[in-house]
């Protein structure tokens, strides 16, 4: 099979768009990826599946004179969103949609893989088709299961995320953090329920929760350097059963976001201290649950990212845009904490935002993204080390 052409890539993307699957259930997606990959030139390819993570897939292209193994990761799962695009190739799976553009991500990866299957690279290239980015922390799972070992261990890792706010085919990146890390927050407050007319005989969990929420607002404003960025959002509170009964339990749910792992750990610490203070002040029991999983900040490696930005800035066929950090999360951050690498944006130019039921990426971005990435990888493989 010859290198995939643009019209073939668009057909692949549309098929992937029709079969979205949730985290760790990407069975049909995995089978289709295998079908496309097996139709490529197999001369230098080696494919590996994993019993311990069945929907994951790795493809190694053996280089002609390898000095390193360069990894490229794409995520393959979708979101529990009912599609409202009205497209003729819309999702055929009710309540599930590629609302984050992972169908674009996969198609670009297949295009890059197809190119190098026909043009043997100098270095080894490792393609990781990763399940469970949207939930279940697939990158962390893969790492902890020991999938990256021996020839399947990258020396450096790259990956993209589509961006509807950038022009179709544009490449966006920045030094430092591209995506924030995220932590789920669950706070349970146990007081004592009672009659609304006799507060002295109860211990109101709602009052304790209200004070906790107000105090949490001071963590970022008074404990974080104003030059840095951090966010705590408490988006849900549940308490009580009826207006004339004092609630004995309250639950608060929210999220923490920070641009560095140190920032997230500092916010975690201060939040625990606030909870301890509420517990002492109101005589209630406060249980704080923090779950970060694999959603660490996407902190780009300085040396590799400087080289990446330099290439993209100088390349005549690339529209490079320096971008600001985003407070959205991405589990590639966990892998970048284990392997040096760079994450970047691919512009897909759309009025709808990521995770929207109407997201419709421009398909012209696919080929432009592939050309930019293959160009960079060839440059990287021939660049002299400083």
Nearest-CA neighbor of 99 among 116, 113, 87, 82? 82
Nearest-CA neighbor of 213 among 255, 166, 252? 252
- Are 45 and 120 in contact by the 8 Å Cβ rule? The answer is no
| Structure tokens belonging to residue 57 | 């897939």
Strand, coil or helix: what is 70?
Answer: strand
Nearest-CA neighbor of 101 among 173, 21, 162, 10? 162
DSSP per-residue string spanning 264-318:
HHHHHHHHHHHHHHHHHHHT-EEEEEEE-TT---EE--HHHHHHHHHHHHH-TT-
Compute how many other C-beta atoms are within 10 angstroms of the C-beta atom of residue 244: 9
H/E stretch holding 117 reads helix 102-118
Residues with catalytic function: 75, 134
- Are 128 and 74 in contact by the 8 Å Cβ rule? The answer is yes
């Amino acid at each position: 099979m010859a290198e995939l052409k643009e019209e073939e890539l668009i057909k692949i993307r549309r098929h992937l768009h029709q079969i979205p699957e949730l985290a760790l259930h990407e069975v049909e997606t995995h089978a289709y990826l295998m079908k496309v990959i097996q139709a490529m030139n197999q001369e230098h390819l080696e494919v590996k599946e994993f019993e311990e993570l069945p929907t994951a897939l790795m493809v190694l292209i053996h280089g002609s004179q390898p000095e390193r193994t360069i990894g490229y990761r794409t995520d393959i799962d979708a979101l529990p969103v009912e599609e409202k695009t009205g497209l003729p190739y819309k999702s055929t799976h009710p309540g599930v949609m590629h609302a984050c553009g992972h169908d674009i991500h996969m198609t670009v990866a297949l295009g890059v893989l197809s190119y190098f299957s026909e043009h043997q690279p100098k270095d080894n290239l490792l393609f990781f088709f990763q399940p469970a980015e949207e939930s279940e922390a697939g990158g962390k799972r893969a790492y902890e299961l020991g999938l990256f070992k021996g020839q399947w261990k990258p020396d450096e890792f790259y990956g993209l995320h589509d961006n509807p706010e950038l022009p179709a085919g544009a490449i966006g990146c920045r030094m430092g953090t591209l995506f924030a890390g995220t932590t789920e927050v669950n706070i349970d407050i146990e007081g004592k329920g009672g009659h609304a007319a006799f507060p002295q005989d109860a211990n109101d969990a709602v009052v304790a929760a209200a004070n906790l929420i107000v105090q949490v607002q001071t963590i970022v404003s008074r404990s974080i350097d104003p030059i840095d960025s951090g966010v705590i959002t408490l988006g849900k509170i549940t308490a009580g059963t009826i207006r004339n009964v004092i609630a004995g339990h309250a639950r608060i749910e929210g999220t923490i976001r920070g641009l560095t792992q140190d920032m997230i750990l500092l916010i975690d610490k201060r939040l625990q201290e606030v909870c301890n203070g509420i517990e002492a002040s109101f005589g209630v029991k406060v249980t704080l649950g923090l779950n970060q999983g694999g959603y660490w900040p996407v902190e780009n490696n300085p040396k590799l990212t400087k080289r990446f930005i330099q290439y993209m800035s100088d390349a005549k066929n690339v529209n490079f845009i320096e971008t600001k950090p985003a407070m959205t999360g991405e589990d590639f951050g966990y892998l970048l904490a284990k392997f040096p690498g760079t994450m970047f944006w691919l512009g897909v130019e759309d009025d709808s935002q990521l995770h929207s039921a109407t997201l419709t990426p421009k398909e012209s971005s696919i080929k432009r993204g592939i050309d930019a990435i293959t160009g960079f990888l060839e440059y990287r493989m021939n660049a002299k080390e400083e």
